[in-house]
């Protein structure tokens, strides 16, 4: 190996070692509840959510306050969307009325129950917002089709819409594991990720949820715990899907796929570390950067998902970033971590 090549190799090895050794720092969360929802507004403001009606908030990027939504101690908040330090919408997941939406506009001092799922066999999975007003929510199949709701007032009200092309295959469903099995981009594009059936799929809507078209992905399915768990888009064309099997967290095999045509076709990729990934998220301020994480650990890509570098193997449920140098992760037993690794750009 030539001296220049050897120098480049050693530099890459040092960067990789540093990332693995010091990528995340534990932060007191004030709760032991399982945490699955995370919404990062900016470098100082972020919200998280989890089981037993739990919500967390930071307004300085350092200290987090844990709170409980009144009369929601049995509700599992799998997703949260924050708009600023005072306003946020949180989604409960579960059968029937356990799927519900609350909103606060006073930093969590009070919460208003907005809507509950009126269908006993329904189960909401995730929500996403294009802006502070326009959002979308979806749930597992009812009478053969996924439920789709939209809001135009920041989650203060929701309307179920009769979507076309959202029919499910036998045993197909979504995974409310991180609030990221639904993603949006542009002004009206949305994507839904699924699993559990013979094939894992991603549905794409170009019109705010009115019509959908499904495409198969190379991420293995064929079992109730297996499929695509998360989808993220850097722009309306370039996206990434991540998944695996939550019962076999270190299982080798394809756990990622990228698209360059808005989800019409997918190319398999091995995310590092190998195993179950429950979330993939873009990094604001770095147009090509993605971070994936799950019970197998966490990793990052700087080229829209073509290649991946391991961060570490700490089990996580979801991540969120404010910039290439600032982000958080949440996970089992109240896990809360702050990103301390290299700049992701």
Residue 191 forms part of a structural domain: yes
pLDDT at 296: 98
Residue 229 forms part of a structural domain: yes
- Around Cβ 17, how many Cβ atoms within 10 Å? 10
Residue 220 forms part of a structural domain: yes
pLDDT at 222: 96
Assign residue 70 the CATH number of its domain: 2.130.10.10
Residue 118's contacts (CB-CB under 8 Å, 6 or more residues apart) are none
Question: pLDDT-derived band of residue 2, with 50, 70 and 90 as boundaries?
Answer: very low
3-class secondary-structure state, position 98: helix
pLDDT tens per residue, range 183-220: 999 999 999 999 999 999 999 999 999 999 999 999 99
pLDDT tens per residue, range 251-280: 999 999 999 999 999 999 999 999 999 999
pLDDT tens per residue, range 297-310: 999 999 999 999 99
Quick one: 270 exposed, middle or buried, by C-beta within 10 A (0-12, 13-18, 19+)?
Answer: middle
Question: pLDDT-derived band of residue 40, with 50, 70 and 90 as boundaries?
Answer: very high
Residue 253 forms part of a structural domain: yes
Q: Kindly report the average pLDDT of the chain as a whole number.
A: 94
| CB-CB contact of 122 with 96 (8 Å) | yes
Number of domains in the chain: 1
- What range does the domain containing 119 cover? 3-339
Residue 345 forms part of a structural domain: no
Radius of gyration of the chain, Cα coordinates, nearest whole angstrom: 19
pLDDT surpassing 90 at residue 26: yes
DSSP string covering 2-36 = -HHHHHHHHHHHHHHHHHHHSSEEE---S--S-EE
Question: pLDDT-derived band of residue 282, with 50, 70 and 90 as boundaries?
Answer: very high
pTM score of the predicted model: 0.93
pLDDT surpassing 70 at residue 25: yes
Proportion of the chain above pLDDT 70, given as a percent: 94
pLDDT at 11: 37
pLDDT at 336: 98
Residue 262 forms part of a structural domain: yes
pLDDT surpassing 50 at residue 173: yes
Question: pLDDT-derived band of residue 22, with 50, 70 and 90 as boundaries?
Answer: confident
pLDDT tens per residue, range 111-160: 999 999 999 999 999 999 999 999 999 999 999 999 999 999 999 999 99
Residue 169 forms part of a structural domain: yes
Q: How many CA atoms lie within 13 A of 45 on its CB side?
A: 11
pLDDT tens per residue, range 49-72: 999 999 999 999 999 999 999 999
pLDDT at 6: 43
pLDDT at 58: 98
Most distant CA pair in the chain, distance: 68
Secondary structure of the chain: what % helix, strand, coil (to 5)? Answer: 5, 45, 50
Residue 23 forms part of a structural domain: yes
pLDDT at 17: 39
Asked, as a colleague might, if the bond just before 273 is cis with ω within 30 of 0, I would say yes
């Amino acid at each position: 190996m030539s001296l220049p090549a050897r120098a480049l190799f050693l530099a890459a090895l040092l960067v990789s070692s540093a990332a693995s050794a010091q990528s995340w720092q534990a932060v007191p969360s004030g709760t032991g509840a399982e945490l699955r929802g995370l919404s990062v507004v900016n470098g100082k403001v972020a919200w998280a959510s989890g089981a037993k009606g739990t919500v967390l908030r930071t307004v300085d990027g350092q200290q987090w306050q844990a709170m409980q939504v009144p009369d929601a101690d049995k509700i599992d908040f799998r997703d949260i969307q924050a708009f600023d330090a005072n306003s946020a919408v949180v989604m409960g997941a579960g059968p029937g009325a356990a799927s519900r939406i609350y909103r606060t506009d006073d930093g969590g001092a009070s919460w208003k129950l907005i809507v509950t799922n009126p269908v006993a066999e329904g189960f909401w999975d995730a929500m996403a917002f294009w802006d502070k007003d326009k959002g979308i929510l979806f749930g597992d199949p009812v009478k053969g089709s996924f439920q789709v709701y939209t809001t135009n007032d920041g989650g203060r009200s929701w309307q179920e819409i009769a979507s076309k092309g959202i029919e499910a295959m036998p045993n197909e469903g979504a995974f409310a594991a991180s609030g990221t099995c639904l993603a949006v981009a542009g002004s009206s594009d949305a994507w839904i990720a699924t699993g559990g059936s013979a094939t894992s799929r991603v549905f794409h809507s170009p019109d705010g949820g009115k019509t959908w078209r499904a495409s198969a992905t190379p991420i293995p399915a064929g079992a109730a715990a297996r499929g695509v768990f998360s989808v993220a888009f850097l722009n309306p064309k370039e996206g990434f899907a991540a998944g695996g099997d939550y019962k076999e967290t270190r299982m080798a095999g394809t756990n990622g796929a990228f698209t360059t045509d808005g989800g019409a076709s997918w190319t398999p990729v091995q995310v590092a570390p190998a195993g179950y990934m429950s979330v993939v998220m873009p990094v604001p301020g770095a147009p090509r950067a993605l971070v994936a994480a799950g019970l197998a650990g966490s990793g990052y890509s700087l080229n829209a998902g073509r290649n991946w570098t391991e961060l570490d193997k700490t089990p996580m449920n979801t991540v969120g970033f404010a910039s290439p140098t600032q982000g958080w992760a949440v996970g089992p037993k109240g896990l809360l971590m702050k990103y301390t690794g290299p700049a992701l750009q």
